[in-house]
A and B are shown apart, each in its own frame.
Chain A
Amino acid sequence: MHEDSPRERVVSGLGAVDRIIHEPARLAIMARLYLLEEADWLFLHRQTGLSFGNLTSHLTRLEASGYVVIEKTFVDRKPHTLVRMTDEGRTAFDRYREQMRDWLEPDGSA
């Protein structure tokens, strides 16, 4: 019976990486939201350097995956978007980090 080599296991493991988070722009958003209770659209725009269209589309994608919740309100008659990471998003991000660590450090070396 064929048994996967450590290298094969690592390569096949990479295929299981969460592609929603793995995209650089979404990873930047998730990495910031992970340690935050909440952040507004402007904060994420300043921190990630993403344009309005990009940021909106990536947030929409993350919301559709259930990783963030987006709350749209009006402050002084101007739109105000507040973003929070869900428990599901937090779990997915933990799992993603674990997978990437296994992939980057397959022998367990830190």
Chain B
Amino acid sequence: MGKSGHGLGGEIDARRMERRMLLYYTQDGLWDLCLGVCALSWGLAIRFDFAAFIGVICGTSVPVVWALKRLVTRPRAGHARLREGGRLKRRFTLVLSVLAGLGLVMFLLVAMQPSSFLRTNFPVLFGALIAVVVSFAAYWVGVRRYYAYALFLFLAGVVHQWGGVHLGESVAVSGAVILVCGVGVLAVFLKDHPRVGEGADA
């Protein structure tokens, strides 16, 4: 199998090529920063009881990432569009919707049964659900560091449940760690990918 994702003896390995493309576009660390900022702001919102804060940050973070992709990533890494890009997006959205639906069901169950097992262990279970979502993203794009982020977010719930730490603080610390990792990944990307104009060799 060649580096390009082709096997002369078999069918072209489209999935492998897709993963290589997705991996290529996650090396800028912008989604790491987005996840870190969301988790940090979520933790701070819980800690200081300022719920509107998380909505504003999470609502603006995705458009900000797309804008930064255009400003930072494209001039350094270039742009390409997969032939099967639409199908990929649809499948990704479907799985995320199913996971979001599971989260909603969990919320409803907690609301309906105040003394249930779910309510007692809600921080751990919700942390596990978030970790599953992040792990799914890690599997999808083939970025192994996202598995570590999933673990950090799951541990935030565990530390609160059995460590006696305030949930807001544990989530904020997890977010801060992810944010620092994202800054590191972005710094490496910027160092390895200087801006190159067409007509000039790197």
**A residues with CB within 8 A of B:** 28, 31-32, 34-47, 51-53, 78-81, 97, 100-101, 104-105, 110
Is the CB–CB distance between B83 and A45 below 8 Å? no
Pair A78/B9 contact, Cβ less than 8 Å: no
Cα A34 to Cα B201 in complex, Å, equals 25
Q: What's the nearest-Cβ distance from chain B to residue A108, in Å?
A: 10
- Report whether over half of chain A's contact residues are helix, strand or loop; otherwise say mixed: helix
Given A42-B77, A44-B78, A51-B201, A35 and B5 contact (CB-CB distance below 8 Å) = yes
Whether the pair B8, A40 counts as a contact (CB closer than 8 A) is no
- The residue on A at minimum CB distance from B193 is A46
Which residues does chain B contribute within 8 Å of A44, judged by CB atoms? Answer: 78
Residue total for B at the interface (Cβ-Cβ under 8 A):
32
Please give the distance in Å from A33's CB to the nearest CB on chain B. Answer: 9
Q: Do B82 and A52 have beta carbons less than 8 Å apart? A: no
The interface residues of chain B, by DSSP majority, are classed as loop
What is the bound-complex CA distance between A43 and B77, given in angstroms?
6
Please name all residues of chain B whose beta carbon is closer than 8 Å to the beta carbon of A36 when the two chains form the complex: 80-83
Chain B residues packing against A (C-beta within 8 Å)? 2, 4-6, 8-10, 12, 14, 17-18, 24, 74-85, 193, 196-202
Q: How far is the CA of A104 from the CA of B9 in the complex (A)?
A: 8
- Which residues of chain A are within 8 angstroms of B24 by Cβ–Cβ distance? 47
- Residues B200 and A38 in contact, CB atoms below 8 Å apart: no
Contacts A/B (CB < 8 Å), 12 sampled: A34-B12, A35-B83, A35-B84, A36-B82, A37-B81, A38-B80, A42-B198, A46-B78, A51-B201, A79-B197, A81-B198, A110-B9
Q: How far is the CA of A28 from the CA of B5 in the complex (A)?
A: 11
Within the complex, the shortest CB–CB distance from B193 to chain A, in Å, comes to 8
Alpha-carbon gap, A101 to B9, bound state (A): 6
A25→B199 CA distance, assembly (Å) = 18
Interface pair A45/B202, CB less than 8 Å apart: yes
Taking a contact as CB atoms under 8 Å apart, the answer to whether A39 and B78 are in contact is yes
Contact A28–B80 (Cβ < 8 Å): no
Contact status of A39 and B79, CB under 8 A, knowing A31-B4, A51-B201: yes
Contact B201 A35 (CB under 8 A): no
**Least Cβ distance of A21 to chain B in Å?**
12
Taking A31-B4, A38-B81, A44-B78 as known contacts, 7 extra A-B pairs with beta carbons closer than 8 A to each other, sorted by chain A number, are A35-B12, A39-B78, A42-B196, A42-B198, A78-B197, A79-B198, A101-B9
Query: What A residues does B17 contact at CB under 8 A?
Result: 35
Give CA–CA (A35, B24) in the complex, Å: 15
Contact (Cβ within 8 A) A110 B80:
no
Q: Which of B17, B83, B198 has the most CB of A within 10 A?
A: B198
